[in-house]
Structure 1
């Protein structure tokens, strides 16, 4: 069965696509737009603008149109893309120096956030009865979420704890010239615990986890592509960056995509809406 059609997908996403395309275009194509940032952080900002403009905006536009038409899979892709944008524009709003696009960063963040709230509302109003019969697939995804969350916890804490013990600022912060690392904040406080809990719930075959799994996989795909792309851009600018990490991110993006496709095939067969 299909989800009910709703113009709200377009009402939220069309303005978001337009404003995001504008902010990304101005940031990417205006010489010296990120002049107040360090070379490292300016390069990452330019890379994020490029990814938002040429990858994320088209995905959001297409998924919103298909969601409006009642495509079940597109709704989860749409929600995962908005989750990625909430994450991304939190960083723009809090860790990019004040510039002429600040208000529009806030608009992007708000539209993406309320798009996520609308997704939650649709799941509450029209609960999905999702049955994924492939236990091997759900177990793999659940374990994947748990391992990813644990690995990134250790990675971030290995940067933070030694600096705290030594009463110093982490080297990664000195490179980007920021007071704190917004990625560390979001991951440690919200995202990684959420992924860990989703993994546990998925292993226990809880309905909430069946809903969150495809959303999380879309987020992983976009984030892994972003990290890999930023590393490549930094390397081309002469900034020290590990190409091995970029390759690993590419592998994880591909692995997440395969899991998403397999999961979507299962959902298409077994999902019903009340």
Structure 2
């Protein structure tokens, strides 16, 4: 890990505490509908209790060139970027607004810096690449269809029905997923299907991101439902769905970790086994 990335990640870790702890524990910070306040509190809890430890683990271990360290670091930063965006755009303006903005900016640039880190590992072959790629593509497709099924019927409606009870004028989850995160994961899956080293590497962080996010959604659904049991925005069915999705995503992540463990190198280290080459050639993450 470069010094630049290390400093950015350390700043992100501090801001997670400064942003998430008051959001979770201080009454009066959140001033939206009860169900959305509950969901935001659940997100804040997962930021501190899960994403922050994974980020710290990644900071400690990625310097050794391990797949676990790099995947933990990038996956946690992706999760924090995603959910800091929700704190900025889905939480009514409050005393922590500038802290939320700082967390969003630093998480994003730390993610960019980590992706540009020259010490990212070059992984060997042996991964069940097409099986994991197929899993990612199925999740991407189902997620996109779920959002389009909500959005398309209400195009032209003011306000659209899917925003009822949220207090939002548009849903930043739909924007992020459809514009950025789902296409990004689809590209990773295609590269993985082709067994390109960049796809083999980025599949790990992507799956870490999805596991943390699935746990996070399950928790925020639980807190939101507790805050307003009559709301359709957060339900017990949503809790169950995302617990199942987290468990399902943990399977390909475990396969990735088992396959690539011990097959990395970084500058100055011992050589790794050559990565698989395809007719399309190979590249580096």
Distance 2:6 2:187 in 1: 31
**What residue number does 2:272 align with?**
none
Q: Distance in 2 between matches of 1:97 and 1:32?
A: 12
Question: 2:16–2:47: 8 Å Cα contact kept in structure 1?
Answer: yes
> Which residue does 2:93 correspond to in 1?
98
Q: 1:157–1:69: structure 2 CA closer, same or farther, 3 Å change rule?
A: same
Contact 1:81 1:219 (C-alpha < 8 Å) held by counterparts:
yes
Distance in 1 between residues matched to 2:114 and 2:60, nearest whole Å: 15
Change beyond 3 A, Cα 1:242–1:217: same
Residue 268 of structure 1: which of 254, 261, 271 is its match? Answer: 261
Structure 1 match to 2:126? 133
Note the alpha carbon deviations across 1:104-146, whole angstroms, 9 max, x for none.
Answer: 1121112211211122211xx3564322313xx2222101111
Distance 2:108 2:140 in 1: 22
Rate the CA distance shift 1:69–1:8 in 2: closer, same or farther, 3 A.
farther
**1:193 aligns to 2:193 (yes or no):** no
Residue 15 (1) aligns with residue 11 (2):
yes
Q: Indicate the RMSD between aligned Cα atoms, in angstroms.
A: 1.9
The match for 2:236 among 234, 238, 243 is 243
Equivalent of residue 102 in structure 2, options 95, 104, 107: 107
Equivalent position of 1:183 in the other structure: 173
Displacement after TM superposition at 1:219 (Å)? 0.6
What is the rounded CA distance, in whole Å, between the counterparts of 2:162 and 2:34 in structure 1? Answer: 13
> In the TM superposition, what are the counterparts of 1:104-183 in structure 2 within 5 Å?
104-122=99-117, 125-126=118-119, 128-134=121-127, 137-164=128-155, 167-183=157-173
The question of whether the paired residues in 2 share the 8 Å contact of 1:202 and 1:209 is answered with yes
Q: How far apart are residue 244 of structure 1 and its match?
A: 3.0
Q: How many residues align?
A: 264
Match of 1:52 in 2: 47
Query: Counterpart in 1 of 2:273?
Result: none
Matches of 1:67 and 1:226 in 2, distance apart? 24
Matched, 1:254 2:247: yes
Q: Partners of 1:141 and 1:251 in 2: how far apart?
A: 17
Gaps of 5+ in 1: none
* Secondary structure in 1 matching 2:94: coil
Cα distance between partner residues in 2 of 1:195 and 1:168? 32
Confirm or deny that 1:206 pairs with 2:205. no
* In 2: Cα distance, 1:265 partner to 1:31 partner: 44
Q: Give SS of 1:175's match.
A: coil
| Aligned counterparts of 2:105 and 2:136: Cα–Cα separation in 1 | 27
Q: Distance in 2 between matches of 1:9 and 1:118?
A: 6
Q: Distance in 2 between matches of 1:72 and 1:141?
A: 16
The answer as to whether partners of 1:80 and 1:215 remain within 8 angstroms in 2 is yes
Equivalent-residue separation in structure 1 for 2:196 and 2:37 (angstroms):
42
Change over 3 Å in CA distance of 1:10–1:129 after alignment to 2: closer
Q: Structure 2: where are the runs of 5+ without partners?
A: 268-285
